[in-house]
Structure 1
Amino acid sequence: MTERIRNLRKFFIEEHQHRAHRKAPVDPFLLAAAFREQNLPDTERAVKRLVYMLDEETPLLFPEQTILFLRTNPTLQALFTEEEKEALAAEYRLHELGELSNICVDYTRFLKVGFPGMRSRLEAQKNKFVSCGQMEKAAYLEGQLAILKALESLILRYRDAASDAGNTLSADSLTRLLSDVPHTLQDALQMQRIIHFTMWCAGNYHNTLGRFDQYMMPYLRADLDAGRLTEESALELLEEFFLTFNLDSDLYPGMQQGDNGQSMVLGGMTPEGKDGFNLLSRLCLQASLELRLIDPKINLRVSKNTPLSIYELGTQLTKQGLGFPQYSNDDVVIPGLEELDYRTEDARNYAVAACWEFIIPGRGMEIPNIDALCFADVMRKAVTGHLADAPDYTSLFEAVTEKLQERVDEMCENTKNLYIFPAPFLSLMMDGCLENGRDISLGGIYNNYGFHGTGLATAADSLAAIKKYVFDTGEIDRKELLDAMEKDFDGYDRLLHLLRYEAPKMGNNEELPDSIAGDLLEAFARAVKGKKNVRGGCFRAGTGSAMYYLWYSKDMGATPDGRRAGEGFSCNYSPSLFIHSKGPVSIVKSFTRPCLKHTINGGPLTIELHDTLFRGEESITKVAALVKSFIDRGGHQMQINAVNRDTMLDAQKHPEKYHNLIVRVWGWSGYFVELDKEYQDHIIKRMELTV
């Protein structure tokens, strides 16, 4: 890390000095109230809000910066008043905040034509619509032109401010961007920063970065060939660019601080079927390693052909406690997407959404986190309703699949009548929107929905215990088990200990619970197969939990695996919190036994390793080999936490000492001391699985 980057990191990240220059917060419903009085339609509101947000920004730059744009207006204006939003929620299904989120745009649609080229395309297409009498479509593009005008005005103000400050490098870069496409990495990164900045100002969130190394590599190659950059100076530029993702992130919405969706994908197969890992991929890993920040969140696409050396590069980041990279297996993901009718070139070009879900840059108006199935819940309902009279395990499992199907049918029904706020700026970077004068919120090339799947290990372990102890050996009386569950195991200490600590557990390489988990996943995949949402897309089953591992477990009674009422499930696709683990190799073997190609919405195996394991280079190779074995055995996704229980317990007592302590939460990394205590406690509990 150069001295300049160290200075910028200290100024922005450690001391947050730039935040003192922000304006005071204002009423977030100021614009919405005016919109309501004028009875403005939603798209016009979205345009006027973004124009307002850009107009309200004051150029802010500091010494040693070369990549500009900082938020000075901390208040995102709402599109609707609270009363209007309540009325919308009563009439429609609103997903999360209602704003468009968690998709991946095609940044090259801007980068390849530049700001002037985009303006020309909009004007030409608008004129076509006018000549055809399609005035509504023409008006939509007119709104996008208004946004572009406001954005170019802000760029001009930044250009002038940079010039006045003597920052000729930035001033010249912005001057070029106002009149031409980017030709250098400096200009391309500055343009990317402007676009990403604007997406957040537009109210969109979980704004992912897609396959950054693929679309930025041409600029790096041109600079290296022309002698404008060396690898060292390119790394410095990348590190400054990476810093920008951490400057305004405290203003971004999320379930917890750090849950902002700024994910970056590196490596993987290209649309042409070639290996995409390149020099920029390597430099991005190095930049993240040196900066040690939670953003951007690195995702590494790998396959059986990926050499161990690349896994070792990723493991260096894990060693630093970043909680990433998250690994995604092309050998599983690409065929799985193809089975769901994704075009081969699109499947090969997949990116990762905010957490782990697989999406297609520039082509998908997909909602990969629209709801979640709780395996533990459908299992528990089947057990409490049918175990007493079930003649055998097969009939009990049939009851489980019936409950699972009922829940899936309910979730599918709940996705109808969906309303998403318009996103005219994002639509500029989505295929077909400009050409058809249509907002991406109304649909894209792919319109699929994804369901998470939480509590899998709890369900599999519970059914394994019932099969073994109730039906196979008769060691447990079914009435006794049901009574114990109803009483939360109070007075059933022997039974609780047997189920909790001695019964078969997924994660110990035991055939019984692992095969049951596979049966449950296949049942989930069958339950959604062939179903279509109202936009014509399919439903995708997944193994991720998001926050549901705590949400759904809070109010759930005791389960047959010895879990007591209210205790949490494991996070994502992982062993239960009560397993006496035989080690990570057994976990990998267990979690690669099920076929994962049909539950292709994503959801990683999450493993906690004690940070002392990473002493010495030999440990790097061993952990890298563990990840490689998971991929080679057919695992779909994996992420590793390098954590220390004592450190986290001390951080709860003395948070002021641990501002830089990073942990992997569910599909994102955050600062431990910024998490709510329930999430802190769960991560500490997961430490009991560490080796």
Structure 2
Amino acid sequence: MEKYNLSEIPKSSRITRLVDHLYAKMPEIESYRAKLITESYKETEDQPIITRRAKAFSHILHNIPIIIRDEELIVGSNSIAPRGCQTFPEFSFQWLEDELDTVETRIADPFYISEQAKADLREVHKYWKGKTTSELATAYMAPEAIRAIDHNIFTPGNYFYNGVGHVTVKYWEVLEIGYEGIMAKAQAELDHCNVGDGDYAERSRFLEAVIMSCQAVIDYANRYAKLALEMAEKCTDPQRKAELLVIASNCSKVPAKGATNFWEACQSFWFVQQLLQMESSGHSISPGRFDQYMYPYYKKDIESGAITRTAAQELIDCIWVKLNDLNKVRDAASAEGFAGYSLFQNLIVGGQNKDGEDVTNDLSFMCIEASMHVHLPAPSLSIRVWNGSPHDLLIKAAELTRTGIGLPAYYNDEVIIPALQNRGLSLADAREYNIIGCVEPQKAGKTEGWHDAAFFNMCRPLELVFANGMDQGEMVGIPTGDVTKMETFDEFYDAYKKQMEYCISLLVNADNAIDVAHAKRCPLPFLSSMIDDCIKRGKTVQEGGAVYNFTGPQGFGIANMADSLYAIRQLVYQEKKFTMEELKEALAWNYGKGLDEQSVRDITTGILREMTESGAKVDADTAAAVLKSVMNAQMSPEKMARYQEIHDMIAEVPKFGNDLPEVDYFARDVAYTYTRPLQNFKNPRGGQYQAGLYPVSANVPLGGQTGATPDGRYAHTPVADGVSPSAGKDVNGPTAAASSVAKLDHFIVSNGTLFNQKFHPSALSGREGLEKFVALIRSYFDQKGMHMQFNVVSRETLLDAQAHPENYKHLVVRVAGYSALFTTLSKSLQDDIIRRTEQGF
């Protein structure tokens, strides 16, 4: 086996200063892009939407302010302020309009915004009323789907309010032939179009839009070349002057033409990554297999002596810093679900080529080194693992994990490759997969995966079973019968499956409506220029131009559902320790804790709705009287004691995550209630739905919208994240927890699974600790688990950081499918991470 250079490359002082500058201030919202796109749209209202999109992109890139920050070697920024962001009113704006005065003080991901920027955006927003993808999507949705969203059964907010992203483009093609080469490909297709063809109108306009967009990017890079030259002329520091001259040369060549050396390749890569974010507000635009497509340029320069390994490492480190400069603002509710200012830019190393050979190289190790150097959340570094992975690579990855940064995440080739083949990918394409965003596999440059399409809370349909389809006095699900009269567990479980299937159909309706809206109002010619076979087909990715088309909404709450249904079967139907009527009451009263504020609101709303529907007059006095009666509702001491007794009995029932086959295989079956029905649906792009089982961090805020569950979870507390056991319930050690999770059918969950574990730092100490850690990963993957990720930080450290955030400004932790600065997270999300079981070997 090849031996790699594992000698550590010191971090440069330049990188330290770049990082310090990046985090010196709160991120800022800027209004430049919103103003420019509105100017362009007002001038092109009589033109095809694809033409309008290209012209708007061009107008933005020719006029948005640019900046080269001190000491940067890789240039290009979407904002003047470090970690600043632009806004995208063409997707949605009302939430931002409503939050302009509170966005700076909100709990999760606050942004500074100047009074001038507020005024600019309020003026801009006037134009966009009735023109957004969000408004069109709502018009396409079925009323019952909208009702299900309003009742928090699922949320498609990702693409409802924002762009899609969630893609890896052909970075390697831009490196090889540049945008001039891509424009030539589009022009060749345009030259072969016949004006008499039935698709000529749309096809020709699309190809013209590709050419226009690519030319805009070339012009944008030339703006940076000119700025670098101007700065070099005024620079008195000889070293910086020389750097600026190289930057000017690089930007005058790439990304217009193919890269000829490693520095040019790094700059070309960055323009692609940066400007994909400028075209739309999508996140999870993932660099993919960076160590593969960048390696030829690195290898050539190293072998020729044109660059040293240390200099190459500094360039990679600079890219890592730039990845943390990109940012976006979300509405307050979504910010809690994606807390940590994350854009989920997943970059993966290692793994196989299309012929099944391991392709780990020196850059694979240098990418891990870069994450050690910058110690920042981005990129979301991942590593592919298979039986041919070099042990040295896994040890190097484990050393990074040991730092506590929550990186890398580990992915199993032996599961993901066949899972993708099962969805129609060729073997060669499946072998070359990368990860998008959190945990979602796809073939780069060929896929419009629509990963992360919606969050589906598997606990909410269970609540609908107990309420016979009702929620807050309104029929949200379907009538499945009086739960207290269900005589067998199978009858109860069948009712749950029916509620699941109905709610899944509503999720599909909502996602498809949003999908169509994006195709109609926000096609993306620049993105589409780098996805096969859009140029050949003459279609954007939004219209089905990609080779592979999927929609991947994710379900979460597997552990809660498995533990709940197992407890019901054992305690209600087998041992008859309490009745279903008693359980229903115990859930309604939160196991004797009484009604909290959220429950009071829910019950009051339901009573008032029922009164209104029955024809009763409901005025302010009536509403106040109902609210008062609900708040004053009391349980007898006997009832309270009984509900607590039920909770205690449930606590004693075996739980998922302890390598207990009878529970674990039940969890496998519960997972099927989401994964199997979903795959029967199609999307508007002709592709298939595929399930994911991961929550990002939405298990916390969406758990806050969920009542008590029969696994003993109290109302409005987080539900389990991903396929992980419920926090604190996996008490038999990390190997037992991994064995339980491995029993789920990961092959059917081709949109990704997420398994979190937390270790005390002492568990990974020394070489022995690293070896045991790698052995755990190998063992889990041998059992056909798909993914693992880790926090290596003590509970005491997290509690102290929560109490004294000023002392932990650089504490990075693993949240869900991403890492984030711990002190930037909401307290509820911090608490969820603290609650996770702390493992040791």
Range class of TM-score, shorter chain: over 0.9
What CA distance in whole angstroms lies between the structure 2 residues aligned with 1:136 and 1:408? 34
What CA distance in whole angstroms lies between the structure 1 residues aligned with 2:812 and 2:248? 36
Q: Is the 8 A contact 1:2 1:236 kept in 2?
A: no
What CA distance in whole angstroms lies between the structure 2 residues aligned with 1:75 and 1:271? 39
What CA distance in whole angstroms lies between the structure 2 residues aligned with 1:117 and 1:394? 61
What CA distance in whole angstroms lies between the structure 2 residues aligned with 1:380 and 1:515? 23
Please state how far the C-alpha of 1:310 moved relative to its aligned partner: 2.8
**Is residue 355 of structure 2 the alignment partner of residue 272 of structure 1?**
yes
Alignment-derived partner of residue 201 in structure 1: 278
Distance change >3 Å, CA 340–CA 21, structure 1 → 2: closer
Please state how far the C-alpha of 1:644 moved relative to its aligned partner: 2.7
Distance change >3 Å, CA 178–CA 322, structure 1 → 2: closer
What CA distance in whole angstroms lies between the structure 2 residues aligned with 1:197 and 1:524? 36
AA partner of residue 496 (structure 2): V
- Larger Rg over CA atoms: 2
Q: Is the 8 A contact 2:301 2:307 kept in 1?
A: yes
What CA distance in whole angstroms lies between the structure 1 residues aligned with 2:361 and 2:229? 35
Aligned residues: 689
**Is residue 258 of structure 2 the alignment partner of residue 157 of structure 1?**
no
Distance change >3 Å, CA 175–CA 15, structure 1 → 2: closer
What CA distance in whole angstroms lies between the structure 2 residues aligned with 1:619 and 1:203? 44
Please state how far the C-alpha of 1:308 moved relative to its aligned partner: 4.0
What CA distance in whole angstroms lies between the structure 2 residues aligned with 1:432 and 1:187? 27
Distance change >3 Å, CA 689–CA 503, structure 1 → 2: farther
Alignment-derived partner of residue 44 in structure 1: 51
- For the residue of structure 1 that corresponds to 2:699, the secondary structure is helix
**Is residue 248 of structure 2 the alignment partner of residue 171 of structure 1?**
yes
Alignment-derived partner of residue 105 in structure 1: 169
- For the residue of structure 2 that corresponds to 1:102, the secondary structure is strand
Q: Please list the CA deviations of residues 383-430 of structure 1 after superposition, one character each: whole Å capped at 9, or x if unmatched.
A: 565653333333332232222222222222333332212111111101
> Where do residues 346-385 of structure 1 align in structure 2 (5 Å cutoff)?
346-382=429-465
Alignment-derived partner of residue 60 in structure 1: 67
Distance change >3 Å, CA 320–CA 96, structure 1 → 2: farther
Alignment-derived partner of residue 459 in structure 1: 561
Q: Is the 8 A contact 1:25 1:75 kept in 2?
A: yes
Structure 1 alignment gaps of length 5 or more: none
What CA distance in whole angstroms lies between the structure 2 residues aligned with 1:296 and 1:100? 19
- Residue 726 of structure 2: which of 548, 570, 576 is its match? 576
> Where do residues 232-271 of structure 1 align in structure 2 (5 Å cutoff)?
232-249=310-327, 255-271=338-354
Please state how far the C-alpha of 1:89 moved relative to its aligned partner: 3.6
- Residue 314 of structure 1: which of 397, 407, 415 is its match? 397
Q: Is the 8 A contact 2:728 2:836 kept in 1?
A: no
> Where do residues 405-416 of structure 1 align in structure 2 (5 Å cutoff)?
405-416=501-512
Alignment-derived partner of residue 91 in structure 1: 139
Q: Is the 8 A contact 1:109 1:428 kept in 2?
A: no
- For the residue of structure 2 that corresponds to 1:489, the secondary structure is helix
Alignment-derived partner of residue 300 in structure 2: 222
Q: Is the 8 A contact 1:210 1:264 kept in 2?
A: yes
- Residue 787 of structure 2: which of 637, 644, 654 is its match? 637
What CA distance in whole angstroms lies between the structure 1 residues aligned with 2:356 and 2:255? 36
What CA distance in whole angstroms lies between the structure 1 residues aligned with 2:548 and 2:131? 30
What CA distance in whole angstroms lies between the structure 2 residues aligned with 1:392 and 1:21? 56
Structure 1 stretch 388-397 or stretch 182-191: which is displaced more?
388-397
> Where do residues 615-634 of structure 1 align in structure 2 (5 Å cutoff)?
615-634=765-784
AA partner of residue 672 (structure 1): F
What CA distance in whole angstroms lies between the structure 1 residues aligned with 2:224 and 2:483? 69
What CA distance in whole angstroms lies between the structure 2 residues aligned with 1:574 and 1:125? 49
AA partner of residue 320 (structure 1): T
Structure 1 stretch 583-592 or stretch 88-97: which is displaced more?
88-97
Please state how far the C-alpha of 1:312 moved relative to its aligned partner: 1.9
Alignment-derived partner of residue 12 in structure 1: 18
Alignment-derived partner of residue 412 in structure 2: 329
What CA distance in whole angstroms lies between the structure 2 residues aligned with 1:169 and 1:601? 42
Structure 1 stretch 241-250 or stretch 430-439: which is displaced more?
241-250
Please state how far the C-alpha of 1:268 moved relative to its aligned partner: 1.6
What CA distance in whole angstroms lies between the structure 1 residues aligned with 2:682 and 2:747? 19
Alignment-derived partner of residue 148 in structure 1: 214
What CA distance in whole angstroms lies between the structure 2 residues aligned with 1:527 and 1:49? 41
Q: Please list the CA deviations of residues 318-361 of structure 1 after superposition, one character each: whole Å capped at 9, or x if unmatched.
A: 11121121111111111111112222222212221111111221
AA partner of residue 140 (structure 1): F
Q: Is the 8 A contact 1:351 1:361 kept in 2?
A: yes
Q: Is the 8 A contact 1:98 1:419 kept in 2?
A: no
What CA distance in whole angstroms lies between the structure 1 residues aligned with 2:758 and 2:340? 21
Please state how far the C-alpha of 1:120 moved relative to its aligned partner: 2.7
What CA distance in whole angstroms lies between the structure 2 residues aligned with 1:239 and 1:481? 56
**Is residue 488 of structure 2 the alignment partner of residue 392 of structure 1?**
yes
Alignment-derived partner of residue 419 in structure 1: 517
Alignment-derived partner of residue 89 in structure 2: 78
RMSD over aligned Cα atoms:
2.8
Please state how far the C-alpha of 1:34 moved relative to its aligned partner: 5.8
- For the residue of structure 1 that corresponds to 2:735, the secondary structure is helix
- Residue 476 of structure 1: which of 573, 578, 600 is its match? 578
Please state how far the C-alpha of 1:289 moved relative to its aligned partner: 1.8
Q: Please list the CA deviations of residues 590-628 of structure 1 after superposition, one character each: whole Å capped at 9, or x if unmatched.
A: 111222111221121111112343332322222222122
What CA distance in whole angstroms lies between the structure 2 residues aligned with 1:474 and 1:320? 49
Alignment-derived partner of residue 645 in structure 2: 494
What CA distance in whole angstroms lies between the structure 2 residues aligned with 1:494 and 1:61? 65
- For the residue of structure 2 that corresponds to 1:541, the secondary structure is coil
AA partner of residue 447 (structure 2): G
- Residue 187 of structure 1: which of 251, 264, 288 is its match? 264
Identity percentage of aligned residues = 26
Q: Is the 8 A contact 1:46 1:79 kept in 2?
A: no
Q: Please list the CA deviations of residues 90-133 of structure 1 after superposition, one character each: whole Å capped at 9, or x if unmatched.
A: 32468233423111212123222113323333333333336666
Q: Is the 8 A contact 1:448 1:537 kept in 2?
A: yes
AA partner of residue 79 (structure 1): E
Distance change >3 Å, CA 112–CA 619, structure 1 → 2: same
Q: Is the 8 A contact 2:484 2:580 kept in 1?
A: yes
What CA distance in whole angstroms lies between the structure 2 residues aligned with 1:246 and 1:357? 21
Distance change >3 Å, CA 64–CA 486, structure 1 → 2: closer
Structure 1 stretch 457-466 or stretch 434-443: which is displaced more?
434-443
What CA distance in whole angstroms lies between the structure 1 residues aligned with 2:772 and 2:402? 12
- For the residue of structure 1 that corresponds to 2:384, the secondary structure is strand
- Residue 606 of structure 1: which of 729, 736, 756 is its match? 756
- For the residue of structure 2 that corresponds to 1:416, the secondary structure is helix
- For the residue of structure 1 that corresponds to 2:707, the secondary structure is coil
**Is residue 801 of structure 2 the alignment partner of residue 655 of structure 1?**
no
Please state how far the C-alpha of 1:36 moved relative to its aligned partner: 4.5
Structure 1 stretch 249-258 or stretch 137-146: which is displaced more?
249-258
Distance change >3 Å, CA 120–CA 533, structure 1 → 2: closer
- Residue 210 of structure 1: which of 261, 278, 288 is its match? 288
- For the residue of structure 2 that corresponds to 1:608, the secondary structure is strand
Structure 2 alignment gaps of length 5 or more: 1-7, 92-127, 142-155, 233-240, 469-481, 593-639
Please state how far the C-alpha of 1:2 moved relative to its aligned partner: 7.1
What CA distance in whole angstroms lies between the structure 1 residues aligned with 2:326 and 2:293? 24
Please state how far the C-alpha of 1:27 moved relative to its aligned partner: 8.2
Please state how far the C-alpha of 1:494 moved relative to its aligned partner: 2.6
